[in-house]
Amino acid sequence: MNNLLFMPIVIPLITAICLILLWRQRVIQRLVSLVGCVSLFLAAALLFSFVAPGNVLAIQAANWPAPFGITLVADTFSALMVLVAAFMGLSVAIYSLATLDPERESFGYHPLYHIMLMGVCGAFLTGDMFNMYVWYEVMLISSFVLLTLGGERSQLEGGVKYVTLNLLASTLFLIATGMLYGTMGTLNLADLGERMRQPETLSDLQLGLMTTLPILYLLAFGIKSALFPLFFWLPASYHTPPIHVTAIFSALLTKVGIYSLVRVFTLVFIADTDFTHTILLVIAGLTMITGVLGAVAQMEMRRLLSFHIVSQIGYLLMGLGLFSPLSLAGTVFFMVHVILAKSALFLVGGVLHRVAGTYDLKKLGGFYRSSIMLSILFFLPAFSLAGIPPLSGFWAKFALVRAGLELGQYAIVTAALAVSILTLFSMTKIWAEAFWKAQPPGKVQVDADQISRTLASGQTALPLLLPIVVIAALMVIIGVAADPVLAISQQAANQLLDPTDYINVVLHESASLANSP
Partner 1 sequence: MESLLAFVVGGLYAGGIYLMLRRSMIKLIFGLVLLGHASNLLIFTVGRLTSDQPPLVPDGAETLTEPFADPLPQALILTAIVIGFGMQAFALVLVKRMFLTARTDDVHAITTTDTF
Quick one: which of 70, 97, 145, 470 contacts partner 1 (CB under 8 A)? 145
C-beta neighbour count of 76 within 10 angstroms: 25
Quick one: which of 218, 236, 351, 413 contacts partner 1 (CB under 8 A)? 236
Count, residues near partner 1 per rule CB under 8 A: 41
Is residue 160 part of the contact set for partner 1 (CB under 8 A)? yes
Would you say 162 or 395 has its CB closer to partner 1? Answer: 162
d(CA 6, CA 116): 16
Binding mask 275-304 for partner 1 (x = CB under 8 A): ----------------------xxxx--x-
Q: Which stretch binds partner 1 (CB under 8 A): 148-156, 202-210, 362-370, 442-450?
A: 148-156
**What sign results for the dihedral spanned by CA atoms 193, 285, 318, 327?**
positive
Would you say 137 or 509 has its CB closer to partner 1? Answer: 137
Is residue 388 part of the contact set for partner 1 (CB under 8 A)? no
d(CA 72, CA 116): 18
Closest by alpha carbon to 216, among 252, 256, 250, 265?
265
Quick one: which of 46, 168, 444, 513 contacts partner 1 (CB under 8 A)? 168
d(CA 425, CA 429): 6
Quick one: which of 36, 122, 159, 285 contacts partner 1 (CB under 8 A)? 159
Quick one: which of 14, 42, 174, 466 contacts partner 1 (CB under 8 A)? 174
Q: Which residues of 260-277 are buried (b: 16+ CB within 10 A; e: fewer)?
A: bbbbbbbbbbbbebeebb
Q: Which stretch binds partner 1 (CB under 8 A): 42-50, 173-181, 263-271, 458-466?
A: 173-181
Interaction residues for partner 1, span 112-131 (CB under 8 A): 130
d(CA 83, CA 42): 9
Quick one: which of 126, 188, 237, 490 contacts partner 1 (CB under 8 A)? 237
Shortest approach of partner 1 to residue 246 CB, angstroms? 13
Quick one: which of 25, 63, 154, 201 contacts partner 1 (CB under 8 A)? 154
Q: Which stretch binds partner 1 (CB under 8 A): 76-84, 138-146, 368-376, 389-397?
A: 138-146
Shortest approach of partner 1 to residue 240 CB, angstroms? 6
Would you say 253 or 329 has its CB closer to partner 1? Answer: 253
C-beta neighbour count of 144 within 10 angstroms: 17
Q: Which stretch binds partner 1 (CB under 8 A): 49-57, 91-99, 177-185, 446-454?
A: 177-185
Quick one: which of 114, 195, 239, 363 contacts partner 1 (CB under 8 A)? 239
d(CA 288, CA 404): 15
Is residue 156 part of the contact set for partner 1 (CB under 8 A)? yes
**Cis peptide before 102, with omega less than 30 degrees from 0?**
no
Quick one: which of 153, 204, 459, 517 contacts partner 1 (CB under 8 A)? 153
d(CA 509, CA 516): 11
Quick one: which of 18, 139, 163, 465 contacts partner 1 (CB under 8 A)? 163
CA dihedral 136, 192, 312, 135 (to 10 degrees): 10
Would you say 36 or 241 has its CB closer to partner 1? Answer: 241
Q: Which stretch binds partner 1 (CB under 8 A): 52-60, 157-165, 188-196, 386-394?
A: 157-165
Is residue 497 part of the contact set for partner 1 (CB under 8 A)? no
Would you say 108 or 467 has its CB closer to partner 1? Answer: 108
Q: Which stretch binds partner 1 (CB under 8 A): 172-180, 214-222, 435-443, 490-498?
A: 172-180
Query: Three-class SS of residue 360?
Result: strand
d(CA 147, CA 141): 10
Cβ–Cβ < 8 Å for 277, 321 = yes
Any residues with CB less than 8 A from the CB of 452 and at least 6 apart, and which? 371
Is residue 61 part of the contact set for partner 1 (CB under 8 A)? no
Is residue 182 part of the contact set for partner 1 (CB under 8 A)? yes
Shortest approach of partner 1 to residue 177 CB, angstroms? 8
Q: Which amino acid is at 169?
A: A
Quick one: which of 25, 49, 63, 164 contacts partner 1 (CB under 8 A)? 164
Q: DSSP E strands: which ranges in 410-454?
A: none
Beta bridge partners of 74: 57
- Cα-Cα end-to-end distance for the chain: 9
Cβ–Cβ < 8 Å for 19, 34 = no
Q: Which amino acid is at 369?
A: R
Would you say 234 or 338 has its CB closer to partner 1? Answer: 234
Is residue 175 part of the contact set for partner 1 (CB under 8 A)? yes
Shortest approach of partner 1 to residue 149 CB, angstroms? 11
Is residue 246 part of the contact set for partner 1 (CB under 8 A)? no
Is residue 181 part of the contact set for partner 1 (CB under 8 A)? yes
Q: Are strands 57-60 and 71-74 parallel, antiparallel or unpaired?
A: antiparallel
Q: Which stretch binds partner 1 (CB under 8 A): 27-35, 145-153, 445-453, 492-500?
A: 145-153
CA dihedral 121, 123, 127, 131 (to 10 degrees): 120
Q: Which amino acid is at 402?
A: R
**Cis peptide before 67, with omega less than 30 degrees from 0?**
yes
Any residues with CB less than 8 A from the CB of 314 and at least 6 apart, and which? 227, 228, 284, 285, 286, 287, 288, 289, 291, 419
Query: What is the binding site for partner 1 (CB under 8 A)?
Result: 130, 133-134, 137, 140-141, 144-145, 148, 151, 153-154, 156-161, 163-164, 167-168, 170-171, 174-175, 177-179, 181-182, 235-237, 239-240, 297-300, 303
